[in-house]
Amino acid sequence: MKIKHGMILAAGLGKRMQPLTLNTPKPLLKIGNKTLLERSINLLINHGIEEIVINIHHLSQQIEQYISNFSSKANLTISNEKNLLLDTGGGVKEGTKHFKENPFLVVNPDTCWDEKHSSDLLSLEQFYYKNQKHCLLLVNKKLSFDKSFKGDFNLKEKIVTRDSENNLIFTGIQITNRNFLNQIDKKVFSMNEVWTELLKTKDLLGLESNLQFKHLNTFEIYKKIEKKHEIKG
């Protein structure tokens, strides 16, 4: 079995990346010669995703223009939240309406993705089909480029938990389906609310990555990662 649908969360305001994001939406910032959005799209396409939904809000016209000029093997569609920002959970629920019962990948472009992460996607997909539950790709906080990151979760026999000593960070990739999203009966909500409900029933599973985690959460971290890629050429 193979997942054919994906969504990229590109509607955020990028406040912690100011002043860069005052005139450029965060997904269109570049690391090396590729935008963060291009890296996310390529990651999904290389995995065989055929349909990708991208939600937009902040400086939405720039992303719409970028997508209209983007050459892609996959069908790229826009879920426009111009009038109301739906947060991560609401955005996914709205953008994936036509996916019906099919599982799909959700990717956060705030992470600097590259071809090395293809193996993580394959492992997560196999893990999902084996368990048929909402799955998160996690990484130990020791592998984070930004050493200020605190952990979000722990794993106990692949079941995600939260306690006083969380050592694992959510990377920004998850697999879910609309059955899990429909548990939240409102329009605007965070994916964290979905996770909280699934934690209660031990239905939130996690798989751990062994790759370095490069999350562009602040202007300072972005400049450091950008400089590192420039040095590598």
- DSSP letters of 109-145? TTB---GGGHHHHHHHHHHHHHH-SEEEEEEEGGGBS
For residues 34-55, average pLDDT: 95
- Please give the class, per CATH, of domain 5-232: alpha beta
Query: pLDDT tens-digit profile of 11-35?
Result: 988 888 888 888 999 999 999 889 9
- For residue 229, is pLDDT > 90? no
Global confidence as pTM:
0.94
For residues 112-126, average pLDDT: 95
Query: pLDDT tens-digit profile of 158-184?
Result: 999 998 889 999 999 999 988 888 878
Phi-psi region of 21 (alpha: psi -120 to 50; beta: other; left: phi over 0): alpha
